[in-house]
Chains A and B, each alone.
Chain A
């Protein structure tokens, strides 16, 4: 009993770590983007200020589905983050860091947000939710093909297992071992994070920030916390699958920062796709390359 409680406490610690890390990273990356545009940019802790300000504001409600969905989204995402390994040895629930746990649990958060946004009754929110789910359908397929290839090669679907397989030298980092798959995964990650070319479901100028259109005050603050932890989960997944995980926490921070900063730089120079362009794009090249990579790696056995 005590052990389970310890594990849960540890898991909550991981989620808090993810929130603090990603919120700081978000601020730092806003600063980087600002320096690229020859601006001074906000303080590096600006995103913390934003979130605490939102939590300090008064908010209207649009019915209990609206409120409950927000809590469900936040809870679902915190529950997902609890399973995330930070390094190969820092895992809250030893043996439960399976890749599929993240795939299934992250959907709870997403669906909670979809339910809540639809509960607001605003048509723009419904359009945003529909677009978010369509985008999800588009990027998941090529990403899954690549990850299945990795699972087939390493023979394990545990994230620490995959990371250890790269650290001990059974395989190179999968960004080198599976170059085509790595490119596909980067594109899918940009779709997951909602970065610029695939930002279609937020689109502030077009559908007034999509699912978030009716949120203000506390609910928006909770959604921001949920958003930060979601990004933490997705980027950490990527680090563990393709960049060889991390032996120490410093390495994790460095790899995390590089992945997030590079994606941010790429997204800052791109425009926005329409929703049909997003779907056609993902089902055309990334899916093609993913399948080619799977054929090369599994059928022909060519792994660098």
Chain B
């Protein structure tokens, strides 16, 4: 049996204190996910019912945001042609950290019905890290909501580390991006 006598509280190391703060931050981050919708694919049609009265994602604290800087989670809804991939990478790199990515539909997992097209990439997570996938062609709205709940669980369990992997494996991601696109130049149009 554990002693009930008063013991001196053990001073936490800096790492442990940082971890505690990070956990508090995670509570706020997972309860307030602001989305940036990259709606070029057909799965985007599942988002309006998820947002409005039928499924109401606002009860999870989620909401649409206007610009990448304000957003926490990037929704890639469907196939990505090489042209849109370039814009997606620009957008992803503009988001403020911690940032998460949700891939919609089979197109982001293995290419889906566009798997043999020369203009479309097959696996999204070769180019940017993806935290949660929603499978289906197209996924129904329950699956979309479930994908968001999964992302919240991942953040809670500290497994949504895509944005950290993008730092640690940056060379690998950059190599894949350059192989596909030829050149990835993050152009800052406003500060030149």
Check if B61 is an interface residue, CB within 8 A of chain A. Answer: yes
Contact B56 A52 (CB under 8 A): no
Contacts of A123 in B (CB 8 A): 190
CB-CB under 8 A for A42 and B58, given A215-B70, A216-B96? yes
Contact A34 B32 (CB under 8 A): no
What chain A residues lie within 8 Å of B64 (beta carbons)?
204
A55, closest chain B residue (CB): B28
Task: Determine if A43 and B70 form an interchain contact, defined as CB atoms under 8 angstroms apart.
Answer: no
User: Which segment of A12-20, A58-66, A162-170, A177-185 sits at the interface?
Assistant: A58-66
Q: How far is the CB of B100 from chain A (nearest CB, A)?
A: 12
Q: B191 and A62: CB pair below 8 A?
A: yes
Q: How far is the CA of A60 from the CA of B68 in the complex (A)?
A: 12
**1/0 per residue B30-70: CB within 8 Å of A?**
01101000000000000000001100101101001111111
Q: Is B9 an interface residue (CB 8 A)?
A: no
How many A-B residue pairs have C-beta atoms within 8 angstroms? Tell me: 92
Q: Which residue of B lies closest to A60 (CB)?
A: B96
User: Interface size class for chain A?
Assistant: 35 or more
Q: Is the CB of B96 within 8 A of A213?
A: no
A77 at the interface (CB under 8 A from B): no
Tell yes or no: B25 within 8 A of A by CB.
yes
Residue on B nearest A220 in the bound complex, by CB = B70
Cβ B58 vs Cβ A214 within 8 A? no
Query: Is A272 an interface residue when CB atoms closer than 8 A count as contact?
Result: no
B71 to chain A, nearest CB (A): 8
Does B69 lie within 8 Å of A60, measured CB to CB? yes
At the interface, yes or no: B97 with Cβ under 8 Å from chain A?
yes
Chain A 201-242 residues near chain B, CB threshold 8 A? 204-205, 208-209, 212-217, 220
Q: Is the CB of A56 within 8 A of B58?
A: no
Complex A-B, nearest 9 residue pairs according to Cβ-Cβ distance, in ascending order: A216-B69, A216-B96, A53-B28, A56-B25, A209-B66, A39-B56, A204-B66, A121-B190, A217-B96
